[in-house]
Amino acid sequence: MNISTKMIVSNSDMIKNFKNCREKAEILGKVFILKNNQPDSVLFSIKEYERVSAFMEYLERLDEEEIKKFAKALPKDGHRRYYSIDQLRNDIK
């Protein structure tokens, strides 16, 4: 996963400027929060959260064979595509 430096904020910046960080998450989809220069947490916009939640709920309904098939289809290197739920359903059939 490639993370833009625009998507990274320090824990202290999050505490001092929550409103700005929330707005940044709204624009970028998510913001990675560092504590002591280490990844600590992620702030999602509601739109990104709903997208990820739908994906997770879909994956939770798959049986083991479907999960294996899906995992094999994921690219190992390079740029990864964004999938809609409909695309995922078609790709694993």
Does the structure show a pLDDT above 60 at 25? yes
- Residue 70's pLDDT is 81
Which token pair is 20?
């700005």
Residue type, 73: A
- Residue 80's pLDDT is 57
pLDDT tier, 72 (very low <50, low <70, confident <90, very high otherwise):
confident
Rounded Cα gap, residues 91 and 57, in angstroms: 17
Rounded Cα gap, residues 84 and 82, in angstroms: 7
DSSP secondary structure code for residue 84 in this structure: -
pLDDT tier, 42 (very low <50, low <70, confident <90, very high otherwise):
very high
Q: Which residue has the higher pLDDT, 92 or 84?
A: 84
